[in-house]
Amino acid sequence: MPADELNLGVLLFIPYREMERRVLDALNDGGFDDLTQAQARLVARIGSDGSRLTDLAAQAQVTKQTAGVLVDQLVRAGYLRREPDPSDGRARLLQLSDKGTRAVDVANQAARQVESEWLAHLGPRRSTALRGALEELRKITDPYR
């Protein structure tokens, strides 16, 4: 690889970073201006049936303590709520509140807009090839798939 050629990891990161920036801008514009980037990353990982703190920490690749601080902030801000875990009476599940659901909807709409722009730029054939290549890479890179 020539010295001035970016590696694939960087080439994947640059568009991800741009999408994340656009999503955060949309959240700010939508009235969710109290969400930090780190908090938004956790909110985005809440499963439809709720998530455990340990799972969120692992997926976000942060310590349980860091995730705990972020979750406490999100609960206080009204984005998340803690509920009993029906499968384990000792555990708690984190669930999106109504406010959290509205924020996720805004974020998803912004992400769809960005993706639509990218697909228009690449065209159908290259978009399909890119998606196929990324889905194939996911098989060897995503422990949570």
Which tens digits make up the pLDDT trace of 130-143?
Answer: 999 999 999 999 88
- Is residue 51 in some structural domain? yes
- Domain ranges, residue 114: 8-140
Structurally, how many domains does the chain consist of? 1
| Averaged pLDDT, 118-145 | 94
pLDDT tens for residues 16-55? 999 999 999 999 999 999 999 999 999 999 999 999 999 9
Residue type, 35: L
Would residue 35 count as lying in a domain? yes
Residue 101 counted as domain residue? yes
Q: Is residue 102 part of a domain?
A: yes
Q: Is the CB of residue 79 less than 8 Å from the CB of residue 38?
A: no
